[in-house]
Amino acid sequence: MHTVLQRGNSILAYALSVLAFLTFCCFISTVFLNYTTNAEIKTIKVVVKNVPDFSALREKNDLGFLTVDLQTDLTHLFNWNVKQLFLYLTAEYETPNNVLNQVVLWDKIILRGENAILNFKNMNTKYYFWDDGNGLKGNKNITLTLSWNIIPNAGLLPNIFASGSHSFKFPVEYTSSRM
């Protein structure tokens, strides 16, 4: 006859196998869904300053200030396998020193059940827009893009880009006013 430990081991192994199969079914049922959506991004106020970087070298670097309008509806991205969305607004640009610069300016976490319709007017950036030199003044091709990571209950962590972006340029003169 089988002992109590052998029977318990068999029941536990069977239960774990069933749970693994159900988790895989949860993953496969939502992996092929389209998670893209349109986002409208506009810059309202664009200013660039040349301020000292308080690192060891005490050099002056460019610091950009933006106010942004952001509108998008993310409600259709939530399904029974999505726990939350991690949104972030990035700026991409090119300078003589670097071919590709990417800066995260704003982020937000939206949990399931929260309002997923974003309608921000004159929103300030959450993080500083520093450049590692003087690459912002007069830069004519800064592109803002909204992206998000989907945090599922089971499965992959995809990185999705919105199907709308916004390009703008920084002024050719530094501002001296206080922000």
Segments of the chain scoring below 50 in pLDDT: none
Q: Please, are residues 81 and 29 in contact by the beta-carbon 8 Å criterion? A: yes
Has residue 97 been placed in a domain?
Answer: yes
Q: What is the pLDDT of residues 116-158, one digit of tens each?
A: 999 999 999 999 998 888 888 888 899 999 999 999 988 888 8
The pLDDT of residue 31: 85
Residue 173 lies in a domain: no
Domain assignment present for 177: no
Q: Give the chain's domain count.
A: 2
pLDDT > 90: what percent of the chain? 60
We report the CATH number of the domain holding residue 118 as: 2.60.40
User: What is the predicted pLDDT for the residue at 98?
Assistant: 85
User: Using CB atoms within 10 A of its CB, is residue 131 exposed (0-12), middle (13-18) or buried (19+)?
Assistant: buried
Domain check: are 6 and 45 in the same one? no
Q: Give the model's pLDDT for residue 152.
A: 93
- Helix, strand, coil in percent for the chain, rounding step 5: 15, 45, 35
pLDDT of residue 65: 92
The answer to whether residue 154 sits within a structural domain is yes
Instruction: Print the SS3 string covering 51-109.
Output: EECCCCCCCEEEEEEEEEEEEEECHHHCCCCEEEEEEEEEEEECCCCCCCEEEEEEEEE
One domain for residues 39 and 113:
yes
Q: Are residues 15 and 68 in the same domain?
A: no
Residue ranges making up the domain that contains 80: 33-168
The Cα–Cα gap between 95 and 136 comes to: 8
Q: Is the pTM of this model over 0.95?
A: no
Give the span between the Cα atoms of 45 and 94, in whole angstroms.
21
- Is residue 43, in this structure, part of any structural domain at all? yes
Model pLDDT, residue 178: 66
What pLDDT was estimated at residue 75?
Answer: 93
